[in-house]
Amino acid sequence: MSKEIALNILNENIGNTLIETLDIKFIDIGEDFLVASMPVTPKVFQPDQILHGGASAVLAETVGSAASSILLKNGKKIVRGIELSINHLKAVNSGKIIAKAKAIHIGRTMQLWNIKITNENDEIVSIAKLTTLTLQK
């Protein structure tokens, strides 16, 4: 499947979800990675007007789970995130953040992803690790 087709599939299947609500878009894909972006607007702020860590966590889990799903290339399976660990390193109050999920381990049933979230200046905002589980549909 081409890169464009894979990204179109991912971006078309987000209607009526938290992914759509937060305006997350899948923007790049490779053999062992997936990249998504999310605008930093007041709807993802915590009360003191900076990016809420929970919104970063949603972005991290979204890009890692989608990476497992699309890179496994098997429509007879479903993917579930089973553990997410995230560290927030830099505050953001505007622009967009970009998350890149890169495979650490892709097993038959379990996958481990490193997710680096950066701002538009390529400064690290958060680092996450996600474990996903692949199950029969």
- Known catalytic residues are 61
Phi then psi for 67, rounded to 5 degrees? -60, -45
From the list 99, 86, 96, 97, the residue with the least C-alpha distance to 35 is: 99
Please tell me the distance from the alpha carbon of residue 120 to that of residue 122, in angstroms, as a whole number: 5
CB atoms inside a 10 Å sphere around CB 19: 22
Helices 3-12 and 53-72 pack at an angle, to 10 degrees, of 130
- Could you give the CA distance from residue 133 to residue 122 in angstroms, rounded to a whole number? 30
